[in-house]
Amino acid sequence: MEAYKVIEIKESVFADNDREADRIRAGLKGEKTFLLNLMSSPGAGKTTTLLRTIEALRDDLRIGVMEADIDSDVDAAAIAKAGVRSIQLHTGGMCHLDAGMTEQGLRELGTSDLDLVVLENVGNLVCPAEFDTGAVKNAMILSVPEGHDKPLKYPLIFTVCDVLLINKTDVLPYFDFDLEKVREYAHMRNPRLQIFPISAKTGEGVSAWTDWLRTQVREWTK
């Protein structure tokens, strides 16, 4: 019989990724670039919100975008039309971006002349929450049609996020969606979570969010 040697590892699958993410953040700090990781379910409004955000901040900040749509260039094309530098990350059907893929994207985009880079993550609420991308802040979009009990069903993403955008408030009258309940459930998971109700369609509430983001970027890059 062959002899095997057992080696104890005792390390989380995410440990390597976490270390790499910390390296990315340190690098970004050094070059004064802010990375925002934007997450949501498919169709919650990441691209639409991003376009609004670019519109509001374009005059103050130099912005770049990385799109991680699973297999189309549609989002990147929309962003390119908005006039900011953008690249499409191809995730090969993967359900999330990890720090390694993010770093590759940052290199491809070229970040030294940018103040703000936004990463539109793959549309789902489970996997992206587990992998630190190296972002300075994490944002999540929850749209009204998804229902107010999402913080109960997907607690992890609410704990890793710094800010929650509740999008599509223009359709509130048509849905059984309780804004106060979302606040309560989300703050139960993460008391420090910033919450901004917005409508990316009408623009309502967007400036509170973009003011917050501008302040965060200024803090990081000063």
Partner 1 sequence: MHELGIVFHVIDMVEKAAAENNAEAVASVTLELGEVSGVIPHELTGCWNWAVKKTERMREAALVIETIPAVTFCEGCGQTYPTVPQGKICPHCGSEHTWLRQGNEIQVKEIAIKEGPYGSV
Ligand X SMILES: Nc1nc2c(ncn2[C@@H]2O[C@H](COP(=O)(O)OP(=O)(O)OP(=O)(O)O)[C@@H](O)[C@H]2O)c(=O)[nH]1
Q: By the criterion CB under 6 A, which residues form the site for ligand X?
A: 40, 42-48, 69, 75, 123, 167-168, 170-171, 199-201
To ligand X, the closest distance from the beta carbon of 222 in angstroms equals 31
CA distances from 15 to 10, 94, 156, 172, 199 (A): 10, 19, 17, 41, 37
Determine, following the binding rule CB under 8 A, whether residue 71 of this chain makes contact with partner 1.
no
Instruction: Kindly indicate which of the ranges 12-20, 53-61, 65-73, 210-218 contains the residues binding partner 1, using the contact rule CB under 8 A.
Output: 12-20
Could you say which of Mg ion, partner 1, ligand X, none residue 8 binds, taking C-beta under 5 to 8 angstroms by partner kind? Answer: partner 1
> In a 3-state reduction of DSSP, which class is residue 186?
helix
One residue of 1, 4, 71, 180 binding partner 1 per CB under 8 A: 4
In three-state secondary structure terms, 196 is strand
Report, in Å, the least distance between residue 185 CB and ligand X: 21
Using CB under 8 A as the binding rule, whether residue 16 contacts partner 1 is answered as yes
CA dihedral 91, 97, 101, 106 (to 10 degrees): 110
Which does residue 48 touch among partner 1, Mg ion, ligand X, none (CB within 5 to 8 A, set by kind)? ligand X
Tokens of 200: 């990316």
Q: Check if the beta carbon of residue 118 is closer than 8 Å to that of residue 63.
A: yes
CA–CA distance, 66 with 118 (Å, rounded to integer): 6
Selection from partner 1, Mg ion, ligand X, none that 12 binds (CB < 5 to 8 A by kind) is partner 1
Radius of gyration for the alpha carbons in the chain, expressed in angstroms and rounded: 18
Return the amino acid letter for 122: V
C-beta of 28 vs 63, nearer to ligand X: 63
Residue number of the CB atom closest to Mg ion: 47
Whether the Cβ atoms of residue 125 and residue 42 lie closer than 8 Å to each other: no
Q: Scanning the structure block, which residue is given the tokens 């802040």?
A: 137
| Stretch of residues binding partner 1 (CB under 8 A), selected from 3-11, 24-32, 111-119, 194-202 | 3-11
Provide, rounded to whole angstroms, the least separation between the CB of residue 21 and Mg ion: 23
199 binds partner 1 (CB under 8 A): no
Residue numbers of the site for Mg ion (CB under 5 A)?
46-47, 75
Chosen residue from 1, 59, 71, 93 binding partner 1 by CB under 8 A: 93
58 touches 97 (CB < 8 A): no
The H or E element containing residue 215 is helix 206-221
Interface ranges with partner 1 (CB under 8 A): 2-17, 93-96, 98, 126-127, 130, 152, 155-156, 188
